[in-house]
Amino acid sequence: MKYKIIEPQHYQQIQARYHINSLLAKVIESRQYDEKTLKEMMNPRLIYHDFSLFSEAQMTLERIHEAIENNEKICIYGDYDCDGILATSILVEAFRQLGIEVGYHIPSRLQDGYGLNVTRVEQMAAKGYSLIITVDNGIKANEAIDLANELGIDVIVTDHHSHDDNLPNAFSIIHTAISPDYPY
């Protein structure tokens, strides 16, 4: 498969004009959308915010880059619902497009219950994973994340579900409600 590399030159103007993140501005520039299409896309119900607004964004990215540079084994731990499956497939494909093979797991509602659990953490440790990235779960997986820490596995939680004040002791947490600068 051949890829066409596009290097946007004016995306900052689009970003400033429409108050959108840089990735979306680059896509808009590369697609050369007309004004009518842009206005339809900028529907107030479709809000895109910059990843850097998450309070732990930088440390999350640094940990992922470290894992890649050190050829660590990474596992994406999804959820069995539609947004969890989609988020898992997007993240796995993003890594693959970077040339990085990652493991992934979509839990069974009946066998695993909801979210990251102790049994699966033990299995991932036995397989040599050193980084787990949850998608659409993990905000309440305190016991499983504590075990992961004991086993030398870092966990990055990406979730949007309700949580209480007892957040897990994860390496980092990407969650809209716990990042004061992220519009929630």
- Per-residue pLDDT tens digits for 109-127: 888 778 899 999 999 999 9
At residue 62, does pLDDT exceed 90? yes
Q: What is the pTM of this model?
A: 0.76
Instruction: In whole angstroms, give the CA distance from residue 159 to residue 137.
Output: 5
pLDDT of residue 44: 61
pLDDT of residue 47: 61
State CA 99 to chain mean position distance: 18
Instruction: In whole angstroms, give the CA distance from residue 158 to residue 175.
Output: 6
Name the DSSP letter for residue 19. Answer: T
At residue 53, does pLDDT exceed 90? no
Average pLDDT over residues 81-94: 92
Instruction: In whole angstroms, give the CA distance from residue 112 to residue 118.
Output: 10
At residue 71, does pLDDT exceed 90? yes
Per-residue pLDDT tens digits for 139-176: 999 999 999 999 999 999 999 888 888 899 999 999 98
pLDDT of residue 163: 81
Strands 73-77 and 103-105: parallel
Which residues, at least 6 apart from 137, have a Cβ–Cβ distance to it below 8 Å?
Answer: 77, 78, 79, 84, 114, 115, 116, 157, 159, 161
pLDDT of residue 69: 96
